[in-house]
Amino acid sequence: MATVEVPEYEVVDQVELSAKETAIIVVDMQNDFVKPEGKLYVPTAQATVEPIKRLLEKARKAGARAFYTQDTHYDNDPEYEIWGEHVRYGTWGWQIIDELKPQEGDIVVVKTRYDGFYGTPLDDLLRVYGIKNTVIVGTVANICVLHTAASAALRWYKVIVPIDGISALTDFDLHATLRQVSWLYKGIVVRSVDGIVFK
């Protein structure tokens, strides 16, 4: 066993974003990850539901777009060998949680890997709508959230991650993710969804 410390990273209290150039990307807030009965339950995910809900309400009111990624697996998926069967297409566990159910005008992107851009139309859709800023929330921080944030940054979108909008299986995983977003991807880590201001 080894113990390491996460290097310091910058956290801001507030960030102002152009609503028309900003997309909220809600990553994998599905029953299998968020609910205790789920097959890959993340205990801290439930605490992010209300902050994400507040962020979505504020974003929609301001005119920002909301995108959801929906992790999806089928028969004999190779990921089952890593994680066991989870978010199998069409099951209860695959569904986005009722508390954050997509609304009219929101876009759901089905993905089969950790990265929300891999093999999906997400990049094309963001460009169609003139998006420059991606506010990324959801679960699991160091897996699907981080891979999606990385792909956004590599495509030159600005990445913003509110701490209370993401969840992980360990504190290390959470803070290692935020360190990568801040340091490697030159993104913005904001303390809370309440510090995101749309103009």
- Beta-bridge partners for 39: none
Residue positions annotated with a catalytic role: 28, 111, 144
- Burial readout 68-96 (b: 16 or more C-beta within 10 A, e: otherwise): bbbbbbeeebeeeeeeeebbbeeeebbeb
With vertex at residue 158, the alpha carbon angle to CA 156 and CA 162, rounded to the nearest 5 degrees, is 145
Rounded CA separation 5/28 (Å): 28
Name 2's Cβ contacts closer than 8 Å, sequence gap at least 6: none
Please provide residue 176's backbone torsions phi and psi, each rounded to the nearest 5 degrees.
Answer: -65, -40
Helix ranges (DSSP H) in the chain: 31-34, 49-62, 80-83, 122-128, 146-154, 171-179
| Cis amide bond preceding 161, omega within 30 | no
